[in-house]
Structure 1
């Protein structure tokens, strides 16, 4: 996996594990998902969503539920 596809380290170990268990291992998967559905995963909290949101924004992307 290339560095631009890797999940940001700042999301924390519990969230990283929750995403992996759900099959979300590449950053490119997250724009198709909603922040609300990700928050339902055990181990994912507001900090992980914030870090992902900032990382996606740097790539010109957003979560699915945050588009107009």
Structure 2
């Protein structure tokens, strides 16, 4: 099999696989979350604030040296 034939065969297979993937039905939606879960908002905000303070502290320490 020549290199050109391998490339053509590979291209055809990729196109066919993409058609099969598009033809799939999306999965059904999951059940709603149970009550009592904590929102992500507060944890993300706290993490960003902590990361900012940590980054500033590291910059100040490296600039002193």
Normalization by structure 1: what TM-score?
Answer: 0.24
Taking CA–CA contacts closer than 8 Å with sequence separation of 6 or more, which of the two structures ends up with the larger relative contact order? Answer: 1
Normalization by structure 2: what TM-score?
Answer: 0.25
- Structure of larger gyration radius: 2
